[in-house]
């Protein structure tokens, strides 16, 4: 199968742009997806011959139109579910609409896109990469919905990867730690600085994605000590409970 089409969601975001440029340099043909037409066109000018698709992925009809467009382009060989949203707030002050939007954008949409594109990916013997987070393995206060969505995405990715074992379709999970993009508002940035949390560049995340694609790995966690904490939290969660309890007064200061 000769398709080299990569469908990238969240293409106009910080990590998305870096991934688009890295994949373009490797010879992939890109189908760049986002809601902001101007930002998509600007990005596609830096990756000539790329296709763009403008739309809100939480909309059912939009996703169907996207699948039709991808099929017309020869079918997707690489699906990267990268679009996502985040907010740091207490559950108490979160509206029902905010809950639905976070879970839909970060969890339901990637699941529905995997299902929708499965036929094309089986045909092309392709790959899915779902972009999660270290918060997909570590529950963090005031990030309850983000954690719920990314824990869900990690579980879904692992289960689907095992379900499709031997089918020719690879399903992988990439978990960045804090990365320098506008998904992190000034409060999150200030908190990360106060706690001494490192922030990666989007380019580093893109390099990690290329390394994941070149390997036979199905999961890749970025950054030390975060990837160690992921393991400690899995095996000895009480240790992480206690460490985060000590951070809580500082975290609360950045909420107001
Ligand atoms: N930055 C970090 O610290 C960090 C850490 C770990 C994991 N991640 C994950 O990395 C991924 C990329 O994040 P980023 O840092 O690059 O964030 P970003 O700069 O805010 O980009 C988010 C992208 O998602 C798109 N998007 C959001 N809702 C959408 C919707 N309903 N329909 C279509 N597109 C939608 C946005 O498109 P529009 O142009 O339409 O807004 C934008 O392109 C996310 O899944 C995030 O959870 C980020």
pLDDT in tens, 153-166: 999 999 999 999 99
Angle, CA of 6, 208 and 12, to the nearest 5°: 50
Query: Residue 75 belongs to what domain range?
Result: 5-253
Q: How many domains does the chain have?
A: 1
| Mean pLDDT over the full length of the chain | 97
Residue-level pLDDT at 110: 99
Angle, CA of 179, 213 and 48, to the nearest 5°: 75
**CB half-sphere exposure, 83, CA atoms < 13 A:** 28
pTM over 0.85? The answer is yes
Residue-level pLDDT at 1: 45
In testing the pocket of ligand 1, which one of 13, 113, 197 has its CB within 8 Å of the most ligand atoms? 13
Q: Given the CA of residue 10, which atom of ligand 1 is nearest to it?
A: 43
* Separation CA 87–CA 36 (nearest Å): 20
Gap from CA of 85 to ligand 1 centroid (Å): 5
Which stretches of the chain drop beneath a pLDDT of 70? 1-2, 256
Coil, helix or strand at residue 146: helix
- What would the two tokens of residue 170 be? 């690879």
Which residue's CA lies nearest to atom 47 of ligand 1?
Answer: 84
Gap from CA of 131 to ligand 1 centroid (Å): 10
* Separation CA 237–CA 120 (nearest Å): 40
Ligand 1 lining (C-beta closer than 6 Å): 9-16, 34-36, 39, 56-58, 82-86, 105, 131, 133, 176, 178-179, 181-184
DSSP alpha helix (H) spans, 172-225: 186-195, 202-214
Summarised one tens digit per residue, pLDDT across range 18-51 is: 999 999 999 999 999 999 999 999 999 999 999 9
**Which residue among the candidates 24, 142, 146, 173 is catalytic per the annotation?**
146
Which residue's CA lies nearest to atom 7 of ligand 1?
Answer: 133
**CATH number of the domain encompassing residue 47:** 3.40.50.720
156: Cβ–Cβ under 8 A, 6 or more apart, which residues? 107, 110, 111, 114, 130
In the beta sheet, which residues pair with residue 200? 179
């Amino acid at each position: 199968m000769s398709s080299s089409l990569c469908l990238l969601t969240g293409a106009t975001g910080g990590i998305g742009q870096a991934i688009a440029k890295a994949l373009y340099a490797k010879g992939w043909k890109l189908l760049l997806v986002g809601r902001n037409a101007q930002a998509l066109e600007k990005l596609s000018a830096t990756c000539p011959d790329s296709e763009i698709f403008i739309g809100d992925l939480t909309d059912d009809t939009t996703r169907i139109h996207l699948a039709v467009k991808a099929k017309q382009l020869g079918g997707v060989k690489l699906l990267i579910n990268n679009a996502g949203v985040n907010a740091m707030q207490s559950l108490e002050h979160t509206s029902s609409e905010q809950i639905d939007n976070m879970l839909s954008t970060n969890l339901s949409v990637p699941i529905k896109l995997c299902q929708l594109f499965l036929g094309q990916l089986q045909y092309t013997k392709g790959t899915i990469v779902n972009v999660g987070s270290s918060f997909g393995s570590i529950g963090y206060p005031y990030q309850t919905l983000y954690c719920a969505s990314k824990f869900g995405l990690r579980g879904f990715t692992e289960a689907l990867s095992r379900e499709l074992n031997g089918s020719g379709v690879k399903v992988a999970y990439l978990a960045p730690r804090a990365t320098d993009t506008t998904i992190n508002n000034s409060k999150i940035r200030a908190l990360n600085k106060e706690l001494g949390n490192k922030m990666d560049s989007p380019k580093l995340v893109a390099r990690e994605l290329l390394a994941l694609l070149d390997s036979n790995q199905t999961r890749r966690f970025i950054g030390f000590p975060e990837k160690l904490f992921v393991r400690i939290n899995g095996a000895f969660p009480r240790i992480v409970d206690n460490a985060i309890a000590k951070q809580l007064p500082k975290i609360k200061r950045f909420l107001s």
